[in-house]
Amino acid sequence: MEDSECPIAVRCNGYNILYYLSVKHYWLIDELKNKMQLDIEKNQSAALVSRSKSNLIKN
C-alpha cells in the first residue's frame, strides 16, 4: 500500500480487507487509521476519501 503507482481501487479494497481483519486483530485498527489519514492527506481521490471515512466511522 506504499506504492504511489498502486491503483486507488486496490488501496480502497485493501483498506476494507484490513478493516475486517481488525475484528480479530485489534492492533490493526490503529495502524489502519493512521495509514488512511496519511493517504487522504497525500491523495484527495473521492473514492479513497469516501472509503477511508466510512471505515473510520465504523469504529
Tens place of pLDDT per residue across the chain (59 aa): 556 677 888 888 888 898 889 889 989 888 888 888 888 788 777 877 777 777 766 65
Question: Cα–Cα distance between 23 and 40 in angstroms, integer?
Answer: 23
Domain count, the chain: 1
> Quick check: is 24 in a domain?
yes
Residue 22: domain span = 8-58
User: Which residues does 36 contact at the CB level (< 8 Å), separation at least 6?
Assistant: 15, 52, 55, 56
> Quick check: is 52 in a domain?
yes
Question: Cα–Cα distance between 40 and 33 in angstroms, integer?
Answer: 11
pTM, two decimals, is 0.69
Containing 20, the helix (H) or strand (E) segment is: helix 8-21
Cβ-contact 31, 19 below 8 angstroms? no
> Quick check: is 3 in a domain?
no
